[in-house]
Amino acid sequence: MKRVYVKEEWCLGCRLCEYWCVYSGSGEKNFPFAFDKGATPPAGIQVEEVGPVHFAVNCRHCDDPLCLKGCISGALSRDGYGAIRIDKTKCVGCHTCIALCPYGCIVSGGDNMPIKKCQLCAGRDYTPQCVSHCPNEAIVFEEE
Amino acid sequence: MKKVSTDTRYVIIGNGVASIGAIEAIRKNDKTGSITVLADEKYPCYGRPLISYYLEGMTTRDKMDYRPAGFYAANNVKLVLGSPADRIDAVSRKVWCGDSEYAYDRLLIATGSSPVVPPTAGYEDVKRKYTFNKLDDALELEKVTDGTTRVLIIGAGLTGLKAAEGLYPRVKEITVVDMAPRVLPAVMDDESSGIIRSYLENKGIRFFLSDSVEKYCDGYALLKSGAEVDFDVLVTAVGVRPNTRLAESIGCVTERMTESGRPFRGIVVGDDQQTTVADVYAAGDCTLSYDVTIKNTRPLFIQPNAYMQGETAGTYMSGGSREKREYLPVNAGGFLGLHVITAGAYDGEPITVRDGGSFHRFFIKDNRLRGFIQIGEYSRVGILTDLIRREADLEGVDLASLVRHPNLAALGMDYVHSVLGKEGA
Amino acid sequence: MIDYIQPDYEVVRNKELCIKCKVCVRQCANNVHVYDESRDVLYVDNSKCVNCHRCVTLCPAKALKIVKTDHCFKPSANYTEDIIKDIYRQADTGGVLLSSMGTPKSYPVYWDKILLNASQVTNPSIDPLREPMEIRTFLGRKPEEIRYLPDGSIETEKYPNLELKVPIMFSAMSYGSISKNAHIALARAAEQLGTFYNTGEGGLHEDLYKYGPNTIVQVASGRFGVHPAYLDAGAAIEIKIGQGAKPGIGGHLPGSKIGEEVSRTRMIPMGTDAISPAPHHDIYSIEDLRQLVYSLKEATDYKKPVIVKIAAVHNVAAIASGIARSGADIIAIDGFRGGTGAAPTRIRDNVGIPIELALAAVDTRLREEGIRNNVGLVVAGSVRTSADVVKAIALGADAVYIATPALLAIGCHLCRSCHAGRCNWGIATQVPELVQRLNPDVAYKRLVNLVSAWSHEIMEIMGGMGINSIEALRGNRLMLRGIGLTQKELDILGIRHAGE
């Protein structure tokens, strides 16, 4: 399947991917509207730093998805593109998936709220927003 | 790969998530064999831990089904509801539910566990008494509770406290009694347990710890300490025991003696989830799981394991194979707004971080993370769970910063490439 | 000390749109944008802004713009604001003023005063989408006559030539003045386009030897990084005598830019200034030049054409005539509007002549002397569009060198601050975290796009003229007409006025 891969050689640590991820998840029409309530942590991608090296970490949509297999409510499932998606109406926010994801790619949505994760922007725009807005092609959407 | 004929008959006893795991795995390898699921409950598989969320109003009956409607049909599964298996003949390879007979080539025992009710004087006479394991328990509790109800919960473990949370918005008063000196005795140490307890006490839940019921009287329970607790509804949640009767009846080994001389009860299975009887597999709460933190098997009554064991069983039953899974205790859940994640074993050197209202404790031994307890705000803790599972050597890693703000960068770029690069995942 | 100089630009932030993502803070190497955490406020230091548009371009909320300040001096057509500020600057520092890229002064651009012809009715135009259109060209000395070998076949390949699939090459920009990633992008683009890029005078990084078949290696007065393997690596060797933006003077790459890799590539110690002398100390005559040309030919077994590059100066035609007789295969002429990584401002803005006049004069002179076929002729120094390319070829060039358009294609915003070494686009810098901003995977595709687009336009224009081969366009000045030019200018250009 196509996944988001990161080339840290070209990652500038500008964090635009994080902001476009927030926008993509917000459902807002205009980019700034997604941030009306101030800083919102990104759900699908986050930039890490080691000294001068930066790289973005994004859900692997694993072949052996512990999040999906550990989900207590059946809210996580794999869609037709291979992406692991969250059914927000089923998730009760127990955070078992957060406890299991080896890459730390699932984010709490707050108490009693569904968790948030990368959905590969499926259903919105085929190319994930983090990829299409990376200024240096440090994030790519490619077959393995 | 074992040869599997196209008309293999799979019978699965039990319809929890282990069963779902098995169905999904079998259908990856075998599209044509017949699968029969014998369910003792009258519902398609639902997320069992959801019952507290249901009572609390955080989910609804229709959202609790573990798989979408049509799952069984789509996988060509014959689901027999309300039909608990009562006999197996491993020689003639048949399972009976009353008069109905099911022949199998591969059998999966996924019978789960049952709540333990300790013998207590007067218990039989309590009118409204429940356990807290199944949807029916929640549906009954929903009927019998209202804004005037006083609830007594026996057991301050995960089940007891989730029951308390579920009932909290519905009832007038909740009292929890446990023999242990602290709440969540199995997954918390003293200090972390104290945090949960005071949080819940501030919400109005009463605790009697290091205490137990001497006897149930008319409308109240008399505790060993002499205290009297008035109640209208009793919920017993002191623990569960694996349902091993059927497995035992066909000669499966169903316990492991520990070094302390106390047996661990549960069906003994191999890495392929096969029992000691050929072509009979077992998965979920009824089995003993291999716990990587103790390097041995033990009962691990947690749902993620059940699914994965069912999946492993299904894979081998249908002729496939997979890498050995390593399990460990992992628990996550909220208690009236206070979120908790725990994992692993609590031995080794503790590192404790408190910030804001949050509490984090990590256990380090020989440069390896052994376990953690996190209460309140946390992020990316799965990275830590994975470090425990992998027994990763953390020599040279800034542990204090890593455990507080888990990240992949701290584990080195080679590791990052191996998991984020195209070769990884 | 009082700072006499006020900022030229103001960064304007639309607070309604700004989401405080701080991309501007992270991306401005000049520290124009500052975030104050305690106040949760983003503010700007306009005095540091070079107007490179990095922040504006990356701002996801489109909340930024940069405007020219309206803070002003009392207007004067004589003592303009620029002149006043330059005087202040020199009074501050006592130093020679430095500038980058081409002169911004309003000298005439002759390309814009020349119009192209098109066919109507007779000699009908050609549709390049339907009919073959040849823009491939060969650079180098051409045979004087057709010779037959004893077996009756025609003698071919007498002189080494460069084959260009498009009549456009990337001009010399040294590794040091621009980043390694910029070089990689140019090299990969040249490879894909079937043309050449030029190392400039900084040597050739070992990682780029693989692009040798599309590389012109330069030998300049500093002789940085010149050794046999370097000469062998390239497809052609260019002797740099002069540069359009700074004729008559040498170069100076400050020691701060000579890091480990640049040091190894240039073969000079780390941290030392790389000083190119104004002249080649072994060239004081055409005869001396001939010696160097033949030394290089000898060193490379006469397999590679040798280019001699000069700045367009007053006597360019006579100089070119000398070069054509020196054994050089190609003459490159660089006009005074050409770019530079750093040049003394007064030189850049006042020395040299426009490339259009130089080209016409050289081509005319070489033809008159019957030696035009001795050499290929390449022009540089502000060829900005495909139309400029067509006009240059019609004036007599074989091909053009482009540099500024190539840099623009890969992100340059012409802020003209290359000499500061903190290029926010990762082009004119050696700072690793800035160089990283230029991913050659992205950049080379943009270069290929640009040149491909120009190629299509060139074919379209040629087709309109009824010409289907670049050879038939070369020196075809009948295809050109001047507009608003004096008779003298028309005479030099060798073209008629529009309407004639």
pLDDT by residue for chain B (425 residues), tens only, comes to 455 566 899 999 999 999 999 999 999 999 999 999 999 999 999 999 999 999 999 999 999 999 999 999 999 999 999 999 999 999 999 999 999 999 999 999 999 999 999 999 999 999 999 999 999 999 999 999 999 999 999 999 999 999 999 999 999 999 999 999 999 999 999 999 999 999 999 999 999 999 999 999 999 999 999 999 999 999 999 999 999 999 999 999 999 988 888 899 999 999 999 999 999 999 999 999 999 999 999 999 999 999 999 999 999 999 999 999 989 999 999 999 999 999 999 999 999 999 888 999 999 999 999 999 999 999 999 999 999 999 999 998 888 888 889 999 999 888 998 888 876 54
pLDDT at B425: 44
**C211: CB partners within 8 A, 6+ apart:** C187, C188, C190, C191, C197
pLDDT at C373: 94
In this structure, are residues C325 and C372 in contact, taking their beta carbons and an 8 Å threshold? no
Contacts of A133 in chain C (CB under 8 A): 60
Q: Provide the percentage of residues in chain A whose pLDDT is more than 90.
A: 63
Contacts of C27 in chain A (CB under 8 A): 12, 14
Q: Where are the domains of chain A?
A: 2-143
What is the domain count for chain C? Answer: 2
Contact B49 A98 (CB under 8 A): no
Contacts of C63 in chain A (CB under 8 A): 32
State how far the Cα of A32 lies from the Cα of A20, in Å rounded to an integer.
10
CATH of domain B117-238: 3.50.50.60
C86 and C155 both lie in a single domain: no
Domain containing residue C216: 137-497
Which parts of chain C have pLDDT scores under 50? none
Say if A and C touch: at least 3 Cβ pairs within 8 Å: yes
Q: Where are the domains of chain B?
A: 9-114+241-317, 117-238, 345-420
pLDDT at B1: 47
C70 and C145 both lie in a single domain: no
State how far the Cα of C200 lies from the Cα of C230, in Å rounded to an integer.
12
Nearest-CB residue to C17 (from A10, A32, A52): A32
In this structure, are residues C443 and C431 in contact, taking their beta carbons and an 8 Å threshold? no
Give DSSP secondary structure letters for C71-85: --PPP-SSS-HHHHH
Tokens of C165: 């699939």
- Provide the 10 A C-beta neighbour count for residue B75: 17
Interface partners of A (3+ CB pairs, < 8 Å)? B, C
Q: Is A7 on the interface with B (CB under 8 A)?
A: no
Nearest-CB residue to C27 (from A14, A23, A138): A14
State how far the Cα of A105 lies from the Cα of A50, in Å rounded to an integer.
18
In this structure, are residues C342 and C98 in contact, taking their beta carbons and an 8 Å threshold? yes
H helix count then E strand count, chain B: 11, 27
C91 and C147 both lie in a single domain: no
Decide which of C34, C63, C95 is a domain's last residue.
C95
CATH superfamily of the B9-114+241-317 domain? FAD/NAD(P)-binding domain (3.50.50.60)
Decide which of C44, C71, C95 is a domain's last residue.
C95
Q: Domain A2-143: which topology?
A: Alpha-Beta Plaits (3.30.70)
State how far the Cα of B143 lies from the Cα of B126, in Å rounded to an integer.
17
C183 and C74 both lie in a single domain: no
C117 within some domain: no
Decide which of C61, C95, C129 is a domain's last residue.
C95
Contact A20 C19 (CB under 8 A): no
Q: How far is CA B270 from the centre of its chain?
A: 20
Would you call C97 exposed, middle or buried from its count of C-beta atoms within 10 A (0-12, 13-18, 19+)? middle
pLDDT at B404: 84
Report pLDDT digits (tens) over C212-263.
Answer: 999 999 999 999 999 999 999 999 999 999 999 999 998 888 888 888 999 9
Which parts of chain A have pLDDT scores under 70? 123-126
Which A residues, 30 through 69, put their C-beta within 8 Å of a C-beta on chain B? 48-50, 53, 55, 57-58, 60-63, 66-67, 69
State how far the Cα of B41 lies from the Cα of B81, in Å rounded to an integer.
6
C336 within some domain: yes
CATH number at residue C88: 3.30.70.20
C132 within some domain: no
C414 and C291 both lie in a single domain: yes
Q: Where are the beta strands (DSSP E) in A8-122?
A: 45-50, 53-58, 76-78, 84-86, 106-107, 116-117
pLDDT at C268: 93
In this structure, are residues B54 and B6 in contact, taking their beta carbons and an 8 Å threshold? no
Tokens of B398: 């800034």
Bridge partners, residue B11, by sequence: B36, B107
Angle between helices C386-395 and C440-465 (to 10 degrees): 50
C259 within some domain: yes
